[in-house]
Amino acid sequence: MSEAIKERPILFLAPMVRAILEGRKTVTRRSVKATKAHANGFMMLDHGKGWRPYNAFGDFASDHEGMEYPIACPYGKPGDRLWARETCFINDYREASVPEQERANYDIHYRADGITDFEGEEELIRWRPSIHMPRWASRILLEVTDVRVERLQDITEEQALAEGIKKHSDGGYHVEDGKHYSDSLVESFACLWSSVGGDWDANPWVWCVSFKRIT
């Protein structure tokens, strides 16, 4: 009997939502959450049953039970699915509590799409933070195609492009909002990582989750 496909939510900021919709973003990097006991000085090895950190001073040729700490990827494995949570406005007084049989008739706005004219003022919209988006309001479903672990600063130029960084008309690189400009693909991604609270200089272990869009 085949294993059931699992679905998990994942949060994306508006620029990354637009990059996914435009087909520019096909991978996301997320920090590995390790405990203080083994957060520093370990390497990651895949044993086929999830990624495991090993003490950096250990003998990697053999398995030592006292050194092994399983860490399952919180974003699943190839074949699993991720549904994108993004900032939205459900135009119904019941908001997220719209009955299932009525959801086909609801009107929903996504902040990533921009607002041109809605009741005259954008401020009148009661934006629902991405963390509170209900599953039925999500418009983006992704299938995980690959999961691996690496150091953040090991990202290549090709992978920076796959993260949604794009080329500017003057030859530099940036995220579409223009706030993370650099003449280097990797430096532009580093600026993006830092802008959302990440510590680039710490060079943490990260999950590299590749995906393709289903809907």
Two tokens, residue 5: 């496909």
pLDDT at 58 over 50: no
CA 59 to chain centre: 33
Distance, in Å, from the CA atom of 1 to the CA atom of 202, rounded to the nearest integer, reads 44
pLDDT at 12 over 50: yes
User: pTM, whole model, 2 decimals?
Assistant: 0.83
pLDDT in tens, 141-184: 999 999 988 899 999 999 999 999 988 777 778 777 667 778 88
E strand or H helix at 189, and its extent?
helix 185-195
Q: Residue 61 carries which DSSP code?
A: T
pLDDT at 99 over 60: yes
- Report yes or no: 91 and 109 within 8 Å, Cβ to Cβ: yes
E strand or H helix at 194, and its extent?
helix 185-195
pLDDT at 78 over 60: yes
Number of C-beta neighbours around residue 174 at 10 A = 20
pLDDT at 24 over 90: yes
Work out the end-to-end distance of the chain between its first and last CA atoms, rounded to an integer number of angstroms: 26
